[in-house]
Every structure is written in structure tokens, then in C-alpha cells.
Amino acid sequence: MTDRQVRVIEQKLAFDGYFKIIRYRLRHSLFEGGEGPELSREVFERGHAVAVLPYDPVRDEVVLIEQFRPGAFGVESDPWLIETIAGIVEPGEGLADVAKREAKEESGLELMALQPIFRYFASPGGSTETVDLFFAIVDSREAGGYFGLAEEGEDIKVHVVASERAEAWLNEGRIKVATTIIALQWLMANRDRLRGT
């Protein structure tokens, strides 16, 4: 094998439900040369997501949402998590379109400006999911309330939070979702520039 190659021995659909699981048998090249041992791994096909952090630079407030998360149930004493707005990319849908659609569905907000931050893997050890993280300018004065699509089982509470309070939530460990942690850390690093101070 040459450097950075993967040889797939077998690929099977192990589960096909709300999500998919693909089982691979494969070998990959080693940094020191040659081929490693055969690996058998299941990979979670979650789809790709877009997340957006709405921010009002005039009022210095962020808009976050809170909802029940099945993945946190049984792990956390409180499986209602505080997050950024986010959604799965549907086939043929643009990333900015997903951000705008999800902002409307999950918070009622219209995004006045949308800026990509970066793309990252959510959990590359066992999932193909990537997250395209965005920042958006909004007017937070009318934000708040309850949102979500009933047909998707969504029950979402919108929080309008002063940036300093959001930073305190982050430092206290109240924010437990990686996307939200990354987005808020990015905001704290860029807040003065965004406010023109």
C-alpha cells in the first residue's frame, strides 16, 4: 500500500432506520509504512448538519435554544440541553438555506447576515457527520417563546442571553453540546470586532 490508503474488504448496511449504520471490514496504511491489521468498524450515518449562532451586536445578546435530547437521556440527570439552532441538510439543499430554515422553525428569527465559521467532524471515530457552523446577525428584541415542528417531535424554548451570561454558562459547564461550546468560544474571541469596539 502507498501512504494514506484504505482497502475496503467488505461494506454492509448493518442497520437502516431513522439513521443508518454501515459495517466496514478494512485495512489502512501505516505511518511507518506497510498495511495495518484488518479492522471491523460500524460507522453511524447521521447525515450532515448546519448550526447557527444568532447574535445581536447592538444589544450584545445571543439567542440559544433548549430542547430534550434522546442522546443525553440516561447519561445526564437533565436531558434538556442548551444549544445553537441546528438542522440536518436535506438532499439538494444549500447550507445557508438550512441555517435560514432552521432559524425560522426553531426560533422565529430572520437572519440579517450569515457568515460561515468553519466545518468540523462531530465524532470522526464512529460517525460521518460534519457540522457547518455559522454566525448570524439578528435583532434579538422580539426573540423568545416556544417553537419547533410538532411533526418532527420538536418542543423548543428560546433563550435570549446577554453575552456575558452566555460566557458564564460556558465557564460553569452549563453548556454541554460541542457545537454550542465551539460557537460561543468563537463569539468570545471575536466579540469586540463584531461590536466594532
Residue 54's domain is classified under what CATH number?
3.90.79.10
Instruction: State the Cα–Cα distance between residues 77 and 69, nearest whole angstrom.
Output: 12
- Do residues 20 and 83 both lie within one domain? no
pLDDT at 153: 80
110: annotated active-site residue: no
pLDDT at 154: 81
**3-class DSSP state for residue 92?**
coil
pLDDT at 175: 96
- Do residues 178 and 101 both lie within one domain? yes
67 neighbors 81 (Cβ within 8 angstroms): yes
Residue 165, CB-side half-sphere exposure with 13 Å CA sphere: 10
Instruction: State the Cα–Cα distance between residues 66 and 83, nearest whole angstrom.
Output: 6
DSSP conformational letter for 166: H
Interval 16-21 mean pLDDT: 92
Question: Per the structure, how many domains does the chain have?
Answer: 2
Residue 77 pLDDT more than 90?
no
pLDDT at 193: 87
pLDDT at 197: 62
Q: In which band, very low, low, confident or very high, does the pLDDT at 87 lie, cut at 50, 70 and 90?
A: very high
Residue range of the domain that includes 70: 49-195
Residue 62 pLDDT more than 50?
yes
Residue 118: inside a domain? yes
- Do residues 33 and 67 both lie within one domain? no
Residue 55: inside a domain? yes
Place of cell 454501515: 22
- Do residues 35 and 62 both lie within one domain? no
Instruction: State the Cα–Cα distance between residues 164 and 169, nearest whole angstrom.
Output: 9
Place of cell 501512504: 3
Candidates 35, 38, 102, 152; catalytic one: 152
pLDDT at 1: 46
156 neighbors 87 (Cβ within 8 angstroms): no
- Do residues 171 and 83 both lie within one domain? yes
Kindly give the residue spans of alpha helices, DSSP state H, lying in 69-162.
95-107
Residue 1: inside a domain? no
